[in-house]
Amino acid sequence: MTGTGIRTQTDATTNVAVVTLDRPHRHNALDLPTIAQLAKTWRAFRGDDTVRAIVLTGSGDRAFCTGIDREASVPQPDSPYSMDDPLLTVGPKANDLWKPVIAAVNGMACGGAFYLLGEADFTVADETATFFDPHTTYGMVNAYEAVHLALRMPPGEAARLALMGSAERMSARRAHATGLVSELTEPGGALTAALRCAEAIAAAPTEAVQGTVRALWAATEAARAQAFAQAPHLLRLGSLPPDEQAARFASRPRNGFRVR
């Protein structure tokens, strides 16, 4: 199945589906139609008994996902008590899907990609992968992404990734050492490794698997919900106006980062 910005393929023999973010010309950044299609896809999987496990990956070799497309227009309400964030509905758990989702990452994963990685059950990455979040560099509070990171990594590592902005990228090896990544592969090997895991999981009774996914999510969802409740206020209080953010983005150095 091909949809707006994504490709979905299901193997009826293994009961594994592969969802591919398919906007390589934009580093697989998520525009609004792609976000809507992802939400629709996750919800469709709930009732599809031919799918028992899912692998999420990105098209091309440069990026898994670079978050929301900067050309996407998201009007905000005038009320200081309200904020619209379309990425809050982009992940499988936000769409009530409790079938396991494994992320296969190569190239860049940054910014809003952490909404997806934060709702994947675990992540496999190849040696080309890098992880970073440029929000603070552009004068934006790093809120939702930082919460997802803090629930997946040691606090100091999450803080360093969230605060260093575009000045530093975390290597796949460092991400593996911190637990953000569960398996590290040779270049180009992440999808194969993720599929191997998905096929093993899909072979188990699906009710037991889904119950385990739900139990694991329950271990952190209360903390996530409490932290998310603070995010809109922090974003309004601490982020620069959009025109100033855009100016900082336009003047960013292209290669002014280190990889650790």
pLDDT given at position 201: 98
Q: Residue 230 belongs to what H/E stretch?
A: helix 206-238
Tally of domains within the chain: 1
Non-local CB neighbours of 65 within 8 Å, separated by 6+ positions: 21, 27, 28, 29, 30, 58, 109, 110, 112, 113, 116
Residue 213 lies in a domain: no
Residue 62 domain-assigned (yes or no): yes
- Provide the domain limits for residue 81: 2-189
β-pairing, 6-11 with 2-3?
antiparallel
> Is residue 259 assigned to a domain?
no
Residue 71 pLDDT class (50, 70, 90 cuts): confident
Q: What's the pLDDT at 31?
A: 95
| Residue 256 placed within a domain | no
User: What's the predicted TM-score (pTM) here?
Assistant: 0.95
Residue 183 falls within a domain, yes or no?
Answer: yes
Q: Which domain CATH number covers 61?
A: 3.90.226.10
In a domain, 173, yes or no: yes
Summarised one tens digit per residue, pLDDT across range 99-132 is 999 999 999 999 999 999 999 999 999 999 999 9
Q: Is residue 58 part of a domain?
A: yes
Residue 207 within any structural domain of the chain: no
